[in-house]
């Protein structure tokens, strides 16, 4: 029995009718990565459950995050005059990141290979992807850090939000069109990040101190590429695909309110977290950037997972995520100074958000596993020998 019934009966009925529909037109993905994944999947045993592959890949990203948190908790290790992260850590980070990316690409092929594709598998995959955003963004940040030649913690906070909104755009597209248009930026970023980790291990973080041209630093290129990709590729393509569906009368939600409803909770989360950042009495983002990013990224993943459930079950998006209700008084306690130890408040709220999200994920997986009479991490049927 599930820990809690998060998926309604209407949504369960919608999952029964669900058919996966996606478009991947990225040349890197089509001509390089998919052939590579088709090659890799042949070496996997046929008893290996696709969801186990998905979860293993996700845990490599978590491992990277924890590993860099140990050596560079406050993102200062890459700055001049500080003890740098050991080279072997960057080698491990590059390998783990590429393994995570590879397993994320192989899991669906393993599902088709073993004839075990289910809506639960797609939900599990995309749900973990939404949480993975914070882990790879925070890990990459350690390359440049917050030193003189690095990126300020406030700048990284807004860059993180650009990444988060870029991620949710593809699922907003699917909510409105029924088709998942896989973003081009994802494949390019994952290959690039893996290579940059390995290059950093060889040349050292000091290399990134040097300007590329005049006063244009590598950190500026890092910032520019993320923002430019989001606003010149991801956002225009998302709007184009939705407008195209509108013109062909295939849009699932005709009213403007219904079409943009999925953005309400993410925008409110952005407003609440930004109020905390801007009006924090102790400048909490400077004190605890890693923990604050983790809190924001996890809360975002929770909001996004609920959208994914709605778009896959073809049901109306929830207007307001319940997680934002307790977050409102938490932010008020922080910015008004009523709760004097702001760092402790952040730690307590981050722990609450992580536990709530894990509880939600486990509950949904258990509920859908029971509905489809499958095991999440095994190809065996329940109660079978």
Three-state secondary structure readout of 228-251: HHHHHHHHHHHHHHHHHHHHCCCC
- CB-neighbour burial class of residue 375 (10 A; exposed 0-12, middle 13-18, buried 19+): middle
Whether 266 and 164 have beta carbons less than 8 Å apart is answered as: yes
Average pLDDT in the chain: 91
Task: Check whether 22 has a pLDDT greater than 60.
Answer: yes
Question: Which pLDDT band holds residue 365 (cuts at 50, 70, 90)?
Answer: very high
- The pTM of this model reads 0.94
Question: Which pLDDT band holds residue 23 (cuts at 50, 70, 90)?
Answer: confident
Question: Which pLDDT band holds residue 289 (cuts at 50, 70, 90)?
Answer: very high
Task: Check whether 4 has a pLDDT greater than 80.
Answer: no
Distance from first CA to last CA of the chain, Å, rounded? 20
What value does the mean pLDDT take over residues 149-162?
A: 92
pLDDT above 70: percentage of residues in the chain: 98
Please tell me whether residue 384 adopts helix, strand or coil conformation: coil
Tell me the C-alpha distance between 336 and 347, whole Å.
18
* Residue 3: predicted pLDDT: 66
Q: Which are the contacts of 291, defined by CB distance < 8 A and separation ≥ 6?
A: 346, 347, 350
Question: Which pLDDT band holds residue 201 (cuts at 50, 70, 90)?
Answer: very high
Question: Which pLDDT band holds residue 275 (cuts at 50, 70, 90)?
Answer: very high
Task: Check whether 171 has a pLDDT greater than 60.
Answer: yes
Output 179 or 198, whichever has higher pLDDT.
Answer: 198
* Residue 206: predicted pLDDT: 87
- CB-neighbour burial class of residue 339 (10 A; exposed 0-12, middle 13-18, buried 19+): middle
* Residue 385: predicted pLDDT: 47
Output 257 or 364, whichever has higher pLDDT.
Answer: 364
User: CB pairs under 8 A, 24+ apart, for 374-380?
Assistant: 374/116, 374/118, 374/120, 375/49, 376/49, 376/51, 376/120, 376/124, 377/49, 377/51, 377/52, 377/55, 378/49, 378/52, 379/47, 379/48, 379/49, 379/114, 379/116
Output 215 or 28, whichever has higher pLDDT.
Answer: 28
β-bridge pairing 216-217 and 211-213: antiparallel
Q: Which are the contacts of 38, defined by CB distance < 8 A and separation ≥ 6?
A: 109
Which range in 106-120, 167-181, 234-248 is most confidently predicted, on average pLDDT?
A: 106-120
- The number of CA neighbours under 13 Å toward the Cβ of 259 is 17
């Amino acid at each position: 029995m599930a820990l809690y019934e998060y998926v309604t009966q209407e949504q369960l009925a919608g999952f029964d009718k669900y058919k996966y529909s996606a478009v991947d037109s990225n040349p890197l993905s089509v001509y390089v990565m998919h052939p590579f994944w088709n090659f890799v999947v042949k070496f996997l045993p046929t008893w290996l459950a696709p969801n186990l592959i998905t979860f293993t890949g996700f845990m490599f990203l978590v491992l990277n995050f924890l590993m860099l948190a140990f050596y560079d908790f406050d993102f200062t290790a890459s700055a001049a005059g500080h003890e740098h992260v050991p080279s072997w850590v960057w080698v491990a980070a590059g390998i783990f990141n590429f393994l995570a990316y590879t397993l994320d690409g192989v899991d669906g092929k393993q599902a088709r290979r073993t004839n075990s594709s289910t809506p639960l598998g797609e939900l599990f995959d995309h749900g973990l992807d939404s949480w993975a955003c914070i882990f790879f963004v925070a890990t990459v940040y350690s390359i440049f850090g917050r030193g003189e030649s690095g990126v300020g913690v406030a700048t990284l906070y807004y860059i993180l939000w650009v990444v988060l909104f870029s991620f949710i755009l593809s699922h907003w597209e699917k909510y409105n069109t029924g088709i998942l248009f896989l973003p081009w930026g994802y494949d390019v970023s994952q290959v690039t990040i893996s290579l940059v980790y390995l290059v950093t291990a060889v040349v050292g973080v000091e290399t990134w101190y040097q300007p590329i041209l005049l006063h244009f630093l590598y950190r500026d290129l890092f910032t520019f590429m993320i923002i430019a990709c989001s606003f010149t590729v991801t956002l225009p393509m998302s709007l184009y695909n939705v407008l195209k569906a509108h013109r062909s009368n295939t849009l699932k939600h005709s009213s403007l309110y219904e079409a943009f409803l999925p953005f309400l909770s993410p925008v409110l989360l952005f407003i609440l977290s930004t109020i905390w950042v801007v009006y924090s009495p102790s400048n909490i983002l400077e004190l605890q950037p890693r923990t604050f990013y983790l809190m924001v990224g996890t809360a975002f993943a929770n909001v996004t997972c609920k959208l994914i459930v709605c778009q896959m079950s073809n049901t109306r998006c929830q207007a307001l995520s319940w997680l934002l209700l307790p977050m409102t008084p938490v932010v008020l306690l922080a910015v008004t100074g009523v709760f004097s130890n702001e760092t402790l408040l952040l730690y307590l709220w981050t722990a609450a958000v992580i536990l709530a999200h894990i509880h939600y994920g486990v509950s949904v997986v258990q509920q859908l596993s029971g509905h489809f009479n499958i095991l999440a991490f095994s190809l065996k049927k329940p109660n079978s020998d």
